[in-house]
C-alpha cells in the first residue's frame, strides 16, 4: 500500500532572472513500512523532494498524495495538522528546542496534538526514550548532549506521535561514522518493530546498505528505482 504518491512533480527556484529546475517530472511511490533512501550528490534535489513529501514546500506542478490526502488543496492549518499527525521529521542539524529538556522535547509534539492526557503523554515519551536509549539524559537540555544523543532525541520526537512516515534529511551528516551507523541501526530497528515507514536522504553510499530500497536522484531527476 502506497503511503506517498508523487505524480509529475516539478519544482523551480528563481534566483533573480535565473530559473533553477530543482525537480523535473518526478514520479514516485513509497510503500508503507518501507525503509527507503534517496541518494544523490549535493544539489541534486534530495532535500527539495523530502520537503515536498513532508508538506514543507509546494511543487510548481504535479500532484502529491500523503496517506490518501491530496495535499495541493490543503490550507496552511490543515498542512500543519497533517505534519503533526502523519509525518515525523529528523533534521540533519537535529533542531531540538534548546530551552526544553530531553523529556520535554519528546513530549512537545504530543502536547500540540491535544489528544492525550498528561499521564499518557508522559508514558509515551518515557517509552520512546527507552526505545532510543536516552533515558539517562531525560533531564538534560540539548546543548548538554552529544550529536548522537541529540539525534536519538530527534528520532524519539519524530516517532512519539506514531506517524505514518518519518522523513530524515541526511540524519547522519553531522555525526561520526560510528555514531551514524548506530543511529541508522536504531532507525532500522524501529522500522521493523513499529512498522513505521522511513524515507531518508543521504549522499553517503555506505549508508545505502541499511535501506530496503533506494531512489537515486541527479539534477532533479530520478535515475533508477
Distances (CA, A) of 90 to 109, 118, 148, 167, 170: 13, 24, 13, 6, 8
Work out whether 126 is an interface residue with another protein (CB under 8 A): no
With CB under 8 A as the contact rule, the residue among 2, 5, 69, 81 that binds another protein is 81
Residue 142 touches another protein, criterion: CB under 8 A: no
Q: Residues 182, 191, 86, CA angle at the centre, nearest 5°? A: 120
Residue appearing with cell numbers 530527534: 154
Tell me if 91 contacts another protein by CB under 8 A: yes
Is 116 an interacting residue with respect to another protein (CB under 8 A)? Answer: no
Residue 104 touches another protein, criterion: CB under 8 A:
yes
Which residue of 112, 194, 204, 205 would you call a contact of another protein, by CB under 8 A? 112
Beta bridge partners of 137: none
Quick check: 54 binds another protein (CB under 8 A)?
yes
Q: Please state, in angstroms and rounded to a whole number, the distance separating the CA atoms of residues 87 and 28.
A: 17
Angle between helices 118-131 and 147-159 (to 10 degrees): 130
What secondary structure letter does DSSP report for 74? -
12 binds another protein (CB under 8 A): no
Interface pick for another protein out of 26, 45, 89, 129 (rule CB under 8 A):
89
For another protein, which residue of 169, 171, 187, 222 counts as binding (CB under 8 A)? 169
Q: Which of 85, 140, 203, 218 binds another protein (CB under 8 A)?
A: 85
- Secondary-structure breakdown of the chain: helix, strand, coil percentages, each rounded to the nearest 5: 40, 30, 30
- Rounded to the nearest whole angstrom, what is the least distance from the CB of residue 119 to another protein in the complex? 16
Q: How far apart are CA 65 and CA 149, in angstroms?
A: 33
Minimum Å distance from CB 93 to another protein? 5
Q: Which of residues 175-214 bind another protein (CB under 8 A)?
A: none
* 19 binds another protein, rule: CB under 8 A: no
CA 49 – CA 46 distance, rounded (Å) = 5
Residues that bind another protein (CB under 8 A): 47, 51, 54, 56-57, 76-77, 80-81, 83-85, 89, 91-93, 95, 97-100, 104, 108-109, 111-113, 157-158, 161, 169
Amino acid at each position: 500500500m502506497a503511503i506517498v504518491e508523487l505524480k509529475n512533480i516539478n519544482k523551480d527556484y528563481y534566483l533573480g532572472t535565473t530559473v533553477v529546475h530543482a525537480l523535473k517530472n518526478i514520479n514516485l511511490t513509497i510503500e508503507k513500512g518501507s525503509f527507503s533512501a534517496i541518494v544523490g550528490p549535493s544539489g541534486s534535489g534530495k532535500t527539495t523532494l523530502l520537503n515536498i513529501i513532508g508538506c514543507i514546500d509546494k511543487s510548481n506542478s504535479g500532484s502529491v498524495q500523503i496517506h490518501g490526502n491530496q495535499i495541493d488543496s490543503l490550507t496552511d492549518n490543515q498542512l500543519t495538522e497533517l505534519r503533526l499527525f502523519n509525518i515525523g521529521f529528523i533534521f540533519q542539524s537535529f533542531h531540538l528546542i534548546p530551552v526544553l529538556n530531553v523529556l520535554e522535547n519528546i513530549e512537545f509534539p504530543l502536547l500540540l496534538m491535544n489528544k492525550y492526557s498528561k499521564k499518557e503523554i508522559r508514558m509515551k515519551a518515557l517509552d520512546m526514550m527507552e526505545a532510543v536509549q536516552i533515558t539517562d539524559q531525560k533531564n538534560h537540555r540539548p546543548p548538554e548532549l552529544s550529536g548522537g544523543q541529540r539525534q536519538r532525541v530527534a528520532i524519539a520526537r519524530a516517532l512519539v506521535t506514531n506517524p505514518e512516515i518519518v522523513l530524515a534529511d541526511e540524519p547522519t551528516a553531522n555525526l561520526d561514522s560510528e555514531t551514524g551507523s548506530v543511529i541508522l541501526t536504531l532507525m532500522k530497528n524501529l522500522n521493523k518493530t513499529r512498522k513505521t515507514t522511513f524515507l531518508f536522504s543521504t549522499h553517503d553510499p555506505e549508508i545505502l546498505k541499511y535501506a530496503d530500497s533506494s531512489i537515486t536522484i541527479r539534477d532533479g531527476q530520478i535515475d533508477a528505482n
